[in-house]
Amino acid sequence: MIDYFARYISFLSFRYLAYTTTLKSMLSQLKSFSLLFALVLGPAFLGLVLLLFLGLGKIVDSYAAPAYGAKLAVVYLLLESAMLWAMTPAIKNAQNRAFQRSLFKSSWRVCVDCKLLFLSNAWLIASLLIAMDLSLKQWLQVPHFLLFMLLQWFCGVFVLYRPCALFYSLLLSSVLVLLPVSLTSLQYFLGFVAIFCCSTLIPPVRISHKLKVHSLALFWLSYFLQNSWSLIWRGSVLLACLLALLQLIAVRSDFSDLIQAVGFSVCVLLTSSLQFDCLAVFNKYRLFFQSANLGKQFYISQFLPSLIFFAVALVVLISMLGTNLSYIPIGAVWCVLQQYLAQKKPAHYALVWFVITIGIMFIA
């Protein structure tokens, strides 16, 4: 028995070391955004933390406005899922997963995965801190908050093991909160739990292996079908941001132009940053397409996914927030500029985006 626990502790130590090492490596890859983090997120860190707790407080008190609380909960789940998806390689130690399967029990892997998942889930930890401050009388008034914490845990587990189920869950939950129905907070969150549970029964749809790649368009389509999370997490963050800004406009309509400018800049950031992924694909397959005399066409094609994504995101932005039509040509030029920086000068990518964002906000 002692030897059993000693081996488990050794495995736990190995996974924690791999977790911290991977996180450091991921942070080192964000050098192009370091200035942005220092200028924006550094001074505003305390404000972001307070905003996080303020939003959770609105979810707790949502029995007075259940539809608003349910929408806010979906926004939180979207953002939480995107953050955890980015941390999945560190949580699961994906590089050495096959090595772990050959030496350690599956129950050990799952147990350590859950421990590291909880450690990584700052949103759930914040919810637990609020829950600990509630009295029994308050718990009887807000039982839906317990379901919300359960949903937060479901999001993390689905990110690790059932990403397709997570996509279906968040999609159907978004549909539920947008339906013109009158439900209580408890009914909304019970509906979310039912959706998450039923989504595990929906089989994943895989069509990428059925595609016959005989053109560059089908090549990129096949790539993004196989690596759909690079689009899903960006779309989720954009949707969550737009929903939050929409609620902010409802509260402070006098700042609608400024809020629209913020949404527009976030749209450019999320769509143009896709060029980093496309550049990695280009470097990987460049020699192959050069051997087929398609090198120039392949080079040009790598910029199209970001531009198409930007066009779709801009349509969503206009439909949700409305915007000045002059933003459309400005956005197209800005997106191309950010793509160029991602391609040629990635260290300046965040700085240029930040400067242009401040300029647009002053104009707005």
What CA–CA distance (Å, rounded) separates 230 from 216? 19
Statement: the pTM of the whole predicted model exceeds 0.85: no
What CA–CA distance (Å, rounded) separates 316 from 321? 8
| Band (196; pLDDT cuts 50, 70, 90) | very high
- 218: which residues sit within 8 A by CB, 6+ positions away? 211, 212
Taking CA 98 as the corner, what is the angle to CA 96 and CA 102, rounded to the nearest 5 degrees?
Answer: 115
Closest to 323 measured CA to CA, from 247, 240, 267: 267
Mean local confidence (pLDDT), 145-153: 91
Here the tokens at position 37 are 């983090």
Question: Is a pLDDT exceeding 60 seen at residue 44?
Answer: no
pLDDT in tens, 249-259: 777 777 777 77
What CA–CA distance (Å, rounded) separates 233 from 273? 12
Mean residue pLDDT of the chain comes to 80
| Band (211; pLDDT cuts 50, 70, 90) | low
Residue 149: per-residue pLDDT: 92
Residue 193: per-residue pLDDT: 93
pLDDT in tens, 7-37: 778 878 888 888 888 887 776 655 555 555 5
| Band (88; pLDDT cuts 50, 70, 90) | confident
Residue 192: per-residue pLDDT: 92
Chain-centre distance for alpha carbon 248: 20
Mean local confidence (pLDDT), 178-190: 86
Q: What is the dihedral of CA 60, 63, 69, 73, to 10 degrees?
A: 50
